[in-house]
Structure 1
């Protein structure tokens, strides 16, 4: 019997020897946990490790207790432990585990080399700088919501570093201390936003929102509706509309520009934990009073508002229709039908599929038309595209409203066969104003139309269309940020980490998931920005499109980069060969593919 037990004793002795070695080596910090289950023992070991790390770094860390939630009620040691725990959700990925024994008498040791501690803080500092660079790029494109969000999130993480005041950003030869510079940038952004009343119709108010005198590409805000702050409203290309409660005065409006984005922050466990530890930072400039204005003032603003409406519909490097009178009359009838809610009166202006899309459009929240549409008509392969009718969509049971400029496509029979939500001005300019050799006007229009149809298909829940544009053998990789589940394998090294999970699906599996999402969400809205389009090394008109995607639904929101490799040789039958997602812009698209994939090597860092 003793001989039979010997192999088990030897197996147990090896982990114990390793634990003894780790504990005897001052270069390591370790924690241990015992419990009736592996998962509880692992968590206990992590907590013990975090406690010891906090003791190690506390003397070298500049922790402002006034920034800590309930900082007057807890000691600095507890505060330091809370800060270190925020790294366990994301950056604390270089700890290792030793399972000495398993449940029901589980004993686990987790440890980290002291040299790795610096890497933990450096990774978070790199992430903060990434937020700053993203914010700067967003500001240049007028995406003020993205700029405010990234600056604020970076500032939140900055508080959790060992030496937040030591983090610098060098620009134009000047080094800026981020703890001072980021709040300055947020205040500058807020100070350069101007909201003006363009029109008052009862309790409905049209707003023109500009940044440094130009219509904002995008901005989120709330307004005081007479009793409380409203749900989130959006402005797109300078246009927005709000509806006050009846009898609410319209001569003075109180708005609060969104900068925290707490709802989206909850999708990021690391950020969420940091916000639970530290106090939020108020920015009084985010709250503004907007005067209703005199009739003369509103008339001037209305002219600027109409100019913004026209800017939504104009594009360069596109072939305009010379005599659009017929199409103008058709869209005028559609606009009138939407305003009067006499939708069926224009059924004969659509194809069967087009009218189905129209019904989906008017069912997409409460739809209202903004301003007087300035229509422009462009040719595309025997079709005519109308750009565009600005509309607002509100959802009573949810906390979002969206502004979209709606485009209409006429077929050869002069009936409306397709409806889409247009790209915002910055995204359109990336395509239509890009200097790209060999890009004809029609190529630009095909790419823009494809992206608009793609994002609209999700908004209008057109599963059949999505199914039709994916190749039967498409490479489809879906990514989302998750908190990694604990595992009990002895060789598991990284536990409790927030990671990006990439799942590869067949076309059939992907479409089933899309259909399931459509059924479970009241609304879905996708916004594309910061697109980068390259011609690929296969097919005459096959393109790689890497584009920043903000995804909103009634149950979930995220932001990241979508990559599509699409065959546009037949504009009527676009065919997606590759679809991937990742949270950050990464030129190494190939990292998502096996070398056996037929597209490996066609997508590489030199393209993006």
Structure 2
């Protein structure tokens, strides 16, 4: 037992010195510490403190733009920063001191690691932008809108967002909205055949992009009472359904889908940002 006690005691001293060294080296590390009756509570407190340090750094260099969407700027800024804080959890080191119900946690991460997180998000923004261009070249309007919108969403969460450029040297802050608006303005819809049955009718839609049938496009339509569920047009053809056999259809109101919030669940980082930023 004396030997075990001696090891623990020496380890505690070494660990204490290491923590103090990290605290003193503010140019190299972000850190946070917390205490509580449970490990989870202490850990969350430490992560909150670490996140606050990251937020101060990002705010001092931030070029986050167009955040005034009905929320207070500070509130939304903090939410956006937390999307980075969540990402850092995977790369932070943790030291646990003591045991429940009196446990302390020390979390730390090198500043260079947070720069890697910013760089990874930038790479994802550019990748989504390229995916959008590939999609619209293939007349896949739904996919193009999705990737362009996702790229713009992540761009608005990046501290250097207003300075990021595509391979052509164009600022994505202006280029991405132009691509989205270009697709919306270049989609045309014509009324095709009306197929009727006893208590049902389907109005066929001919949907094109720059006078070519779209490979895909997702939309909902106004049924007179509410917006329908999402409908997917394929190979230039869509449909609007009616619960009556012979409706008089002169025009249809469509709302084109571009957020694809459900699909964002495949990317936790993207989903987190989508929940923090409001965009029209």
CA contact (8 A) 1:38 1:103 kept: yes
Aligned residue for 1:180? 174
Correspondent of 2:231 among 229, 233, 237: 233
**Offset of residue 2 of structure 1:** 6.3
Q: Is the 2:192–2:206 Cα contact (8 Å) retained in structure 1?
A: yes
Aligned pairs (5 A) from 1:149-164: 149-164=146-161
Residues 64 and 210 from structure 1, CA distance in 2 versus in 1: closer, same or farther, beyond 3 angstroms?
A: closer
- Does structure 1 retain, via aligned residues, the 8 Å contact 2:152–2:173? yes
Q: What SS does structure 2 have at the residue aligned with 1:243?
A: strand
1:11 and 2:5 are equivalent in the alignment? no
Mapped partners of 2:131, 2:67: distance in 1: 29
- TM-score w.r.t. the length of structure 2 is 0.89
1:150-180 per-position Cα deviation (integer Å, ceiling 9, x unaligned) = 0001100101111211011132xxx211111
1:159-558 equivalent positions in 2, closer than 5 A? 159-171=156-168, 175-202=169-196, 203-246=201-244, 249-281=248-280
Q: 1:436-479 CA deviation, whole Å, 9 max, x = no partner?
A: xxxxxxxxxxxxxxxxxxxxxxxxxxxxxxxxxxxxxxxxxxxx
Partner of 2:42: 41
Q: 1:85, CA displacement in angstroms? A: 1.0
Tell me the equivalent position of 1:115.
112
The structure having more radius of gyration, on CA atoms, is 1
Instruction: Count residues in correspondence.
Output: 274
Q: CA offsets per residue over residues 303-353 of structure 1, 9 Å max, x none? A: xxxxxxxxxxxxxxxxxxxxxxxxxxxxxxxxxxxxxxxxxxxxxxxxxxx
Q: Which has the higher helix share?
A: 2
1:69–1:277: 8 Å Cα contact kept in structure 2?
Answer: no
Q: Which residue of 2 aligns with 1:124?
A: 121
Paired residue for 1:147? 144
Distance 1:132 1:31 in 2: 36
> Contact between 2:155 and 2:161, CA under 8 Å: does it hold in 1?
yes
Give me the CA root mean square deviation. Answer: 2.2
- Is the counterpart of residue 136 in structure 1 residue 133 in structure 2? yes
Unaligned runs of 5+ in 2: none
CA distance in 1, matches of 2:4, 2:122: 54
Deviation at 1:69, TM superposition (A): 5.4
Match of 1:119, SS state, is helix
Deviation at 1:189, TM superposition (A): 1.1
Change in Cα spacing, 1:98 to 1:11, as seen in structure 2 (3 Å) is same
- Structure having greater relative contact order (Cα 8 Å, sep ≥ 6): 2
| Partner Cα distance (2:210, 2:156) in 1 | 30
Q: How big is the shift at 1:239?
A: 1.8
Cα distance in 2 for residues equivalent to 1:91 and 1:215: 44
Spell out, residue by residue over 1:226-276, the C-alpha distance to the aligned partner (whole angstroms, 9 max, x if none). Answer: 111100101111122220244865111001111011222244332232223
Looking at structure 2, the residues matched to 240 and 187 of structure 1 have their Cα atoms a distance apart, in angstroms, of: 21
Q: In the alignment, is the contact (CA less than 8 A) between 2:88 and 2:114 conserved in 1?
A: no
Task: Determine the C-alpha separation between the residues in 2 that align with 1:4 and 1:260.
Answer: 58
8 Å Cα contact 2:193/2:203 also seen in 1: yes
String of CA shifts for 1:196-243, please: whole Å, max 9, x gaps.
Answer: 111123431011111122221111110001111100101111122220
Q: Find the aligned partners of 1:69 and 1:109 in 2 and give their Cα distance.
A: 36
Unaligned runs of at least 5 residues, structure 1: 282-608
Pair 163,10 (structure 1): closer, same or farther in 2 beyond 3 Å = same
Tell me the CA shift for residue 149 of structure 1: 0.3
Q: TM-score, normalized by length of structure 1?
A: 0.43
Distance 1:101 1:6, change over 3 A: same
Aligned to 1:161, the other structure's residue is in SS state coil
What is the CA-CA distance between 1:47 and the residue it aligns to? 1.2
**Displacement, 1:118?**
2.1
What's the secondary structure of 2:91's corresponding residue? coil
Q: Helix, strand or coil for the counterpart of 1:205?
A: strand
Aligned partners of 2:12 and 2:247: how far apart in 1?
Answer: 74
Q: Cα gap change, 1:68/1:265 in structure 2, threshold over 3 Å: closer, same or farther?
A: same
